[in-house]
């Protein structure tokens, strides 16, 4: 049994009296000690999925249906009083932007100590020593002095390390890291990723890493789930995904990496991710897909299982239709796409 299992998760927002899904029928599993990367463009639903796992969706957002099973318990069925000890203590979240996540009017030490005391992991007397140990564990230099500083006095890399220290304060079994290297320079990015790998190896953490950076995916992932327009369109171990991507969207992401072939013009996927509430009736990637053909605009493709942990939702690999689990979007705009030459 996996440590964490997300099954048929649909999350969205109530807009003008109508529920608009932004995460649609998302399912994946995470084992102890494993790193799963959730990858996709901005607006794909990655961060909303992470917040849904933590049950941090605020109105007008809501989790419409699905199951989030952690150590045999469905977190969506727990009363808030029972969810609070899970949130932060057993499943921890490293937020995307440290300056937003850290309170600017309290010192770093105050915030780490509060985390320890709220979850009963230290007393007021012992919390300061434990906070120093946590900053040492995440390689913050002069931790005793840094505890007395405010977030604005720290560099971006040190703020991110402080957030990781807070996430690890209660010895969680699962850490969700939402774009942990955003806005950091390349050297600091490498240090943060190296730190996460080291902590995971030493503590046996299961890591759900949310990112749009395929370099991070290649370096960190055991398995990869590719999201597009709220759905997971491909899931695979990291090696096969890079060597033989199945979904046209995954191929487009990999082709857009600069520097793979010197002298070759950079490729880009035309168009943008559709906004929630404006999704095509069929496969959401249809308007941007170079391999589209007749079934694509009509209905969402079902799952094709290649074995070995590889699945894809694409008519290029099967004609199964996805069951209706969320309100359908509006009909597709414009003419029905025609087969591209390689598929004709």
* Pair 288, 271: CB distance under 8 Å: yes
The tally of domains found in the chain comes to: 1
Decide if 154 is inside a domain.
Answer: yes
Report residue 143 as tokens: 């931790």
Query: Greater confidence, 325 or 172?
Result: 172
Decide if 335 is inside a domain.
Answer: no
Is the pLDDT assigned to residue 323 strictly greater than 90?
no
Selection from 13, 146, 164 nearest residue 101 by Cα: 164
User: What mean pLDDT is reported for the chain?
Assistant: 90
Selection from 134, 199, 208 nearest residue 170 by Cα: 134
Decide if 301 is inside a domain.
Answer: no
Residues 213, 90, 207, CA angle at the centre, nearest 5°?
Answer: 20
Selection from 34, 1, 11, 10 nearest residue 235 by Cα: 34
Selection from 26, 31, 121 nearest residue 71 by Cα: 31
Residue 206 forms beta bridges with which residues?
174
Is the pLDDT assigned to residue 342 strictly greater than 60?
no
Q: Rounded to whole angstroms, how far apart are CA atoms 23 and 49?
A: 7
| pLDDT score of 260 | 62
215 — phi, psi (to 5°)?
A: -65, -40
| pLDDT score of 263 | 77
Decide if 127 is inside a domain.
Answer: yes
Decide if 164 is inside a domain.
Answer: yes
* Pair 107, 149: CB distance under 8 Å: yes
| pLDDT score of 321 | 74
Residue 316's SS3 state is helix
Report residue 293 as tokens: 């053909």
Find the domain containing 114 and state its range: 100-170
Report residue 331 as tokens: 């009909």
Decide if 151 is inside a domain.
Answer: yes
Is the pLDDT assigned to residue 330 strictly greater than 70?
no
CA 206, 211, 214, 216 dihedral sign is negative
pLDDT tens digit sequence for 246-279: 999 999 999 888 876 777 788 889 999 999 999 9
**Distances from the Cα of 129 to the Cαs of 113, 122, 134, 135, 147, in angstroms?**
9, 9, 9, 10, 10
Selection from 343, 253, 229 nearest residue 292 by Cα: 343
Decide if 138 is inside a domain.
Answer: yes
* Pair 6, 263: CB distance under 8 Å: no
Tell me the mean pLDDT in the region 51-67. 96
| pLDDT score of 327 | 44
| Residues contacting residue 204 through CB under 8 Å, at least 6 positions apart | 32, 33, 173
Which helix (DSSP H) or strand (DSSP E) does residue 191 occupy?
Answer: helix 186-203
Residue 336: band (very low, low, confident or very high) from pLDDT cuts 50, 70, 90: very low
Decide if 157 is inside a domain.
Answer: yes
Locate tokens 């799963």: which residue? Answer: 36
Say how many CA atoms lie within 13 Å of 54 toward its Cβ. Answer: 25
Tell me the mean pLDDT in the region 115-131. 93
Selection from 235, 252, 245 nearest residue 288 by Cα: 252
Q: Rounded to whole angstroms, how far apart are CA atoms 207 and 204?
A: 9
């Amino acid at each position: 049994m996996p440590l964490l299992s997300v099954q048929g998760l649909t999350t969205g927002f109530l807009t003008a009296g109508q529920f608009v899904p932004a995460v649609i029928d998302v399912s994946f599993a995470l084992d102890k000690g494993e790193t799963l990367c959730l990858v996709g463009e901005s607006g794909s639903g990655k961060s909303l999925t992470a917040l849904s796992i933590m049950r941090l969706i605020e109105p007008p957002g809501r989790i419409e249906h699905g199951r989030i099973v952690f150590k045999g318990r469905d977190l969506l069925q727990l009363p808030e009083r029972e969810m609070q000890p899970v949130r932060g203590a057993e499943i921890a979240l490293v937020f995307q932007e440290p300056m937003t996540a850290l309170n600017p009017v309290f010192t770093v030490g105050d915030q780490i100590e509060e985390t320890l005391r709220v979850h009963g992991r230290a007393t007021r007397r012992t919390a300061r020593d434990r906070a120093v140990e946590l900053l040492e564990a995440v390689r913050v230099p002069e931790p005793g002095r840094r505890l007395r500083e405010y977030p604005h006095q720290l560099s971006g890399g040190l703020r991110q390390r402080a957030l990781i220290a807070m996430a690890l304060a209660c010895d969680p079994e699962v850490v969700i890291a939402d774009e942990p290297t955003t806005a950091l320079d390349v050297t600091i990015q490498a240090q943060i990723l190296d730190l996460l790998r080291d902590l995971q190896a030493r503590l046996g953490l299961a890591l759900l890493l949310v990112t749009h950076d395929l370099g991070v995916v290649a370096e960190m992932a055991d398995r990869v789930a590719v999201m597009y327009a709220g759905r997971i369109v491909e899931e695979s171990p990291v090696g096969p995904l890079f060597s033989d991507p199945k979904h046209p969207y995954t191929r487009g992401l990999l082709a857009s990496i600069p520097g793979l072939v010197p002298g070759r013009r950079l490729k880009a996927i035309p168009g943008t991710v559709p906004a929630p509430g404006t999704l095509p009736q069929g496969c959401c990637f249809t308007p941007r897909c170079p391999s589209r053909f007749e079934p694509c605009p009509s209905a969402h493709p079902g799952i094709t299982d290649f074995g070995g942990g590889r699945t894809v939702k694409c008519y290029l690999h099967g004609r199964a239709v996805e069951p209706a689990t969320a309100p359908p979007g509006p009909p597709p705009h414009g003419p029905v796409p025609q087969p591209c030459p390689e598929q004709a």
